[in-house]
């Protein structure tokens, strides 16, 4: 075994073996992907949160210059030859410099025992039963030792942060390091716990914090409104802004703050000086798209007052009514005219429920759905006590069949958008 250990080298044999083990370690969670020993060109630059696992030769040692920070900085700032834009979507996991050499030695031993056991099975190496049993036991022990040591080695979470003060510019990128408990049963959940407890990942965000961020960075220099989508996207880009788990956290914050007049007003779109689908101080359906805007509270209050004043001014004054004591007629009085008796409308059962179905053109579905929100849904959501449920039914057919790339992309996007059900079928 000792002789065979000398055949194995770090980059050719040890690193791939450790990478294979690590890729099987991470369970689904808050991360859109875990990228083990991945070059910067292959780490996505999108809106999902990504965990980047640095290779063994980029290990971390607290308090001293090391390769981990340099490797993480390279991935943070570039994607291949292009600058990386969504820098606030990356978290890094690094090995502990002091334990790496022990792991490398254990992996070489494991690979040596593995080759011996394979040669025994293929009759390339003839041993007696006792020696064969010893080889199998040694392989099991070395596998377990490697598993434990990998958890001990990959113990450092590295997160990039920047400090920013209005008018004073940005600080250099700082790297904060946090140890991960190697004894935790689930490494992904342990990483999420460390991030949440140190406020490096926000899974629930109060509207007051969004209001503070908007006042500090967006509502300034005379700007009274800002694109909601742009606000979310900038939190994904800039390291001095909060790192939200995903856009659902941002959307939940908008919903939580929509019924208050303290944090922001909202509109589905802006046309010149007019806000389309304007709401302020009442719950509403949130459609987070490129046209939605968040309005500074004082400006929203002024606009709300103007709208109400305009409605009152335009509302006609109803003529005085005289009720017939019998209750059968209502006498409507008009200036300069004789009173005219009219029959009152029969009072029927109360309408307590509404439902509707509509077919949308898939090419302009986004615009049509926005119109439905403005013209129909807001009639309900703007009134207290109304419960509204909206469901979307999507059916797509292709006689030739959908290729694997389309199926994979649609399923991933449906998972991200929290579809309750989504499935491809043969249709036969």
What pLDDT is recorded for position 364? 61
Contact 267, 277 (CB under 8 A): yes
Task: Kindly report the average pLDDT of the chain as a whole number.
Answer: 86
Q: In the numeric block, which tokens belong to residue 97?
A: 């410099």
Whether 79 has a pLDDT exceeding 70, the answer reads yes
Among 124-128, 134-138, 332-336, the range scoring the smallest mean pLDDT is 332-336
Beta pairing, strands 225-227 & 293-295: antiparallel
Work out the percent of the chain whose per-residue pLDDT is above 90: 56
Contact 248, 256 (CB under 8 A): no
Buried b (16+ CB within 10 A) or exposed e, 255-281: ebbbebeebbbbbbbbeeeebebbbbe
Whether 207 has a pLDDT exceeding 80, the answer reads yes
Domain residue limits, the chain: 2-197, 207-314, 394-428
Q: What's the average model confidence in pLDDT over 360-381? A: 72
For the stretch 226-283, pLDDT in tens is 999 999 999 999 999 999 999 999 999 999 999 999 999 999 999 988 999 999 998 8
How buried is residue 375: exposed, middle or buried, by Cβ count under 10 Å (0-12/13-18/19+)?
exposed
How many other β-carbons are positioned within 10 Å of the β-carbon of residue 136?
A: 15
Q: Minimal CA–CA distance to 15: which of 38, 44, 40?
A: 38
Instruction: Return the ∠ at Cα 91 (arms to 202 and 251), rounded to 5°.
Output: 30
In sequence order, the 6+-apart residues with CB closer than 8 A to the CB of 187 are 25, 26, 27, 151, 154, 180
What pLDDT is recorded for position 337? 46
Q: In the numeric block, which tokens belong to residue 9?
A: 């080298």
Greater confidence, 48 or 64? Answer: 48
Contact 214, 231 (CB under 8 A): yes
What is the DSSP code string of 319-348? Answer: PPEEE-TTSSEEEE--TTS--EEEEPPP--
Give the model's confidence band at 122: pLDDT under 50 very low, under 70 low, under 90 confident, else very high.
confident
């Amino acid at each position: 075994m000792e002789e065979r250990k000398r055949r194995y080298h770090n980059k050719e044999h040890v690193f791939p073996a450790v990478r294979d083990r690590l890729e099987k370690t991470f369970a689904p969670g808050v991360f859109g992907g875990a990228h083990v020993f991945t070059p910067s060109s292959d780490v996505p630059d999108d809106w999902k949160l990504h965990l980047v696992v640095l290779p063994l030769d980029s290990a971390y040692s607290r308090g001293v210059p090391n390769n981990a920070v340099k490797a993480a900085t390279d991935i943070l700032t570039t994607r291949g030859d292009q600058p990386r834009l969504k820098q606030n979507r990356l978290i890094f996991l690094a090995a502990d410099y002091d334990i790496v050499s022990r792991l490398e030695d254990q992996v070489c031993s494991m690979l040596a025992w593995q080759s011996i056991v394979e040669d025994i099975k293929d009759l390339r190496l003839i041993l007696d039963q006792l020696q064969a049993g010893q080889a199998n036991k040694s392989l099991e022990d070395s596998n377990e030792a490697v598993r434990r040591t990998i958890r001990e080695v990959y113990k450092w979470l590295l997160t990039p942060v920047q400090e920013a003060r209005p008018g004073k510019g940005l600080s250099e990128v700082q790297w904060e390091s946090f140890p991960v408990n190697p004894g935790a049963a689930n490494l992904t959940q342990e990483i999420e716990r460390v991030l949440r407890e140190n406020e490096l990942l926000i899974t629930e965000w109060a509207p007051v914090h969004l209001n503070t961020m908007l006042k500090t960075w967006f509502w300034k220099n005379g700007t009274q409104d800002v694109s909601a989508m742009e606000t979310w996207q900038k939190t994904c880009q800039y390291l001095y802004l909060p790192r939200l788990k995903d856009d659902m956290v941002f959307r939940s914050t908008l919903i939580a703050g929509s019924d208050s007049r303290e944090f922001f007003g909202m509109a589905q779109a802006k046309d010149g000086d007019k806000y389309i689908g304007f709401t302020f101080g009442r719950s509403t359906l949130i459609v987070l798209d490129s046209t939605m805007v968040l309005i500074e509270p004082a400006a929203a209050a002024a606009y709300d007052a103007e709208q109400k004043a305009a409605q009152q001014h335009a509302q006609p004054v109803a003529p005085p009514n005289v009720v017939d004591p019998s209750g059968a007629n209502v006498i409507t009085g008009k200036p300069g005219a004789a009173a005219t008796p009219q029959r009152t409308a029969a009072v029927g059962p109360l309408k307590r429920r509404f439902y509707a179905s509509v077919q949308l053109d898939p090419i302009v579905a986004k615009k049509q759905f926005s119109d439905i929100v403005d013209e129909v849904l807001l009639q309900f959501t703007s009134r207290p006590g109304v419960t509204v449920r909206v469901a979307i039914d999507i059916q797509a057919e292709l006689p030739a069949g959908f290729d694997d790339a389309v199926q994979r992309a649609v399923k991933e996007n449906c998972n991200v958008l929290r579809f309750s059900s989504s499935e491809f079928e043969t249709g036969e």
